[in-house]
């Protein structure tokens, strides 16, 4: 059975983008693969964060994943900082990866902004830690949204260079799994930007915990154009915001955009947005209810994560020890 690894940062409430682009694909993979899913708190401290809320956000993210169907008894679900193998392998990868490779990472450029000299060093080496997350388990399949593709290419470069430098086919190559029409859900306010947990405007995203009124308001205010919906996909060209809403509708109702257009062709956005709100509210309602139920007993969530950390360590520890041996470290006696 192939091994899957994926992760999500506890840097806020998961968005509809996280859900449609990644989390939703994680659940069915648990039937066909050995799945390892991680709340990546080490990654979350690479950008400004509040130490007073990080632990709460980490537990909330775990509960959100569980509420979406990532059942801790059917996969390995854990918190990154609980398994030390990640940081150990990441350090080795910091020494394997080349600065020139990291300089090409578009996400670093976006996140560091103009004041690059002042960005944290952790943000710069972030992709090395991501490579360690996956390779510490010898995982080969990584379900992610489109925005992570470049990081996974870098992870493959790191694996190859490690194998070359230390003389063994030790790390496998990784295959990104980027699925469906919602692999890149865009901001509700600007169809050229991706929907993000950390967007300063809450109006730009749907959070998985938004109630019915908030969803209705955000969808009503979502940027669109004055044209009605076309009957063919070609009619969405150059209409990024319209295309995004059709893509969201298609993804959440498990259809192709063309089928959505067939049903809604000729409608104005007022009508279409009403239909989209109804679908979103009825889809997210049960997830929110389950999340509230789980968070009413935080100790039970933490117990699930403890079990996950034990299972994760049992897989990663021997792999990372072997990597350390290949590098030439003196084993602890």
Rounded to a whole number of angstroms, the minimum distance from the CB of residue 220 to ligand TYM is 20
Rounded alpha-carbon distances, angstroms, from residue 195 to 144, 169, 176, 243, 318: 14, 38, 20, 14, 38
Q: Which of residues 2-21 bind ligand TYM (CB under 6 A)?
A: 5-9, 17-18, 21
Query: Which stretch in 142-150, 235-243, 268-276, 285-293 sits in contact with ligand TYM by CB under 6 A?
Result: 142-150
- Which tokens in the block code for residue 284? 């997210």
Distance CA 275, CA 291 (A): 25
Angle between helices 298-327 and 269-295 (to 10 degrees): 90
The active-site residue out of 111, 149, 161, 311 is: 111
For the question of residue 243 being annotated catalytic, the response is no
Rounded to a whole number of angstroms, the minimum distance from the CB of residue 147 to ligand TYM is 5
Rounded to a whole number of angstroms, the minimum distance from the CB of residue 144 to ligand TYM is 3
Distance CA 293, CA 127 (A): 35
CB nearer to ligand TYM: pick between 120 and 274 = 120
184 makes contact with ligand TYM (CB under 6 A)? yes
The active-site residue out of 109, 114, 161, 197 is: 197
The residue from 43, 82, 243, 273 that contacts ligand TYM (CB under 6 A) is: 43
Instruction: Write the DSSP assignment of 93-155 as a string of letters.
Output: HHHHS-HHHHHT-HHHHHHH-S-GGGS-HHHHHHHHHHHHHHHTTT--EEE--GGGHHHHHHH
Residue ranges for the known binding site are 9-11, 17-18, 133, 145-147, 185, 194-198
- Which tokens in the block code for residue 175? 């295959």
Q: How many other C-beta atoms can be found within 10 angstroms of the C-beta atom of residue 297?
A: 11
Provide the edge-to-edge strand list for the sheet that holds 175-177: 76-79, 34-39, 3-8, 141-143, 175-177
Rounded to a whole number of angstroms, the minimum distance from the CB of residue 40 to ligand TYM is 4
The active-site residue out of 109, 114, 161, 194 is: 194
For the question of residue 193 being annotated catalytic, the response is no
The residue from 64, 68, 70, 142 that contacts ligand TYM (CB under 6 A) is: 142
Rounded to a whole number of angstroms, the minimum distance from the CB of residue 166 to ligand TYM is 22
Beta strand pairing call for 76-79 and 175-177: unpaired
- Which tokens in the block code for residue 199? 């967007």
The site string for ligand TYM over 203-242 (x = CB under 6 A, - otherwise) reads ----------------------------------------
Rounded to a whole number of angstroms, the minimum distance from the CB of residue 21 to ligand TYM is 2
Query: Which stretch in 69-77, 176-184, 264-272, 320-328 sits in contact with ligand TYM by CB under 6 A?
Result: 176-184
For the question of residue 311 being annotated catalytic, the response is no
Among residues 87, 67, 90, the alpha carbon closest in space to that of 19 is found at 67
278: number of CA atoms within 13 Å, CB side?
Answer: 5
CB nearer to ligand TYM: pick between 144 and 294 = 144
Instruction: Tell me, rounded to whole angstroms, the distance of Cα 237 from its chain centroid.
Output: 27
The residue from 13, 67, 85, 147 that contacts ligand TYM (CB under 6 A) is: 147
176 makes contact with ligand TYM (CB under 6 A)? no
Binding residues vs ligand TYM (CB under 6 A): 5-9, 17-18, 21-22, 40, 43, 130, 133-134, 142, 144-145, 147-148, 182-185, 194-196
Q: Which residues participate in catalysis according to the annotation?
A: 111, 194, 197
């Amino acid at each position: 059975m192939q091994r899957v690894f994926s992760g999500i940062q506890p840097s806020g409430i998961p968005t509809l983008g996280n859900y449609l682009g990644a989390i939703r694909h994680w659940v069915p993979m648990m039937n066909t693969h050995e799945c390892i899913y991680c709340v990546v708190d080490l990654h979350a401290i690479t950008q400004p964060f509040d130490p007073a809320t990080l632990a709460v956000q980490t537990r909330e993210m775990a509960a959100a994943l569980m509420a979406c169907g990532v059942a801790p008894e059917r996969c390995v679900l854990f918190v990154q900082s609980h398994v030390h193998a990640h940081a150990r392998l990441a350090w080795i990868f910091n020494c394997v990866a080349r600065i020139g490779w990291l300089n090409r990472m578009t996400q670093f450029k976006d996140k560091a902004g103009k004041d690059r000299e002042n960005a944290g060093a952790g943000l710069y080496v972030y992709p090395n830690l991501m490579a360690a997350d996956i390779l510490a388990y010898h995982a080969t399949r990584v379900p992610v949204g489109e925005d992570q593709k470049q990081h996974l290419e870098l992870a493959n470069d790191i694996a190859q260079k490690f194998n070359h430098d230390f003389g063994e086919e030790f790390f496998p190559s990784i295959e990104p799994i980027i699925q469906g029409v919602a692999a890149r859900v865009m901001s509700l306010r600007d169809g050229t930007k991706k929907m993000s947990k950390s967007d300063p405007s809450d109006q730009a995203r749907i959070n998985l915990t938004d109630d019915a009124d908030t969803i209705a308001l955000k969808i009503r205010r979502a940027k669109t154009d004055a044209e009605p919906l076309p009957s063919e996909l070609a009619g969405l060209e150059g209409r990024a915001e319209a295309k995004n809403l059709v893509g969201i509708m298609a993804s959440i109702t498990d259809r192709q955009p063309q089928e959505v257009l067939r049903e809604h062709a000729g409608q104005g956005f007022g009508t279409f947005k009403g239909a989209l709100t109804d679908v979103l509210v009825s889809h997210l309602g049960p997830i929110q209810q389950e999340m509230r139920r789980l968070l009413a007993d935080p100790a039970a969530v933490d117990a699930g994560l403890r079990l996950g950390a034990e299972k994760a360590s049992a897989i990663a520890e021997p792999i990372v020890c072997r990597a350390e041996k290949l590098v030439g470290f003196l084993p602890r006696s």
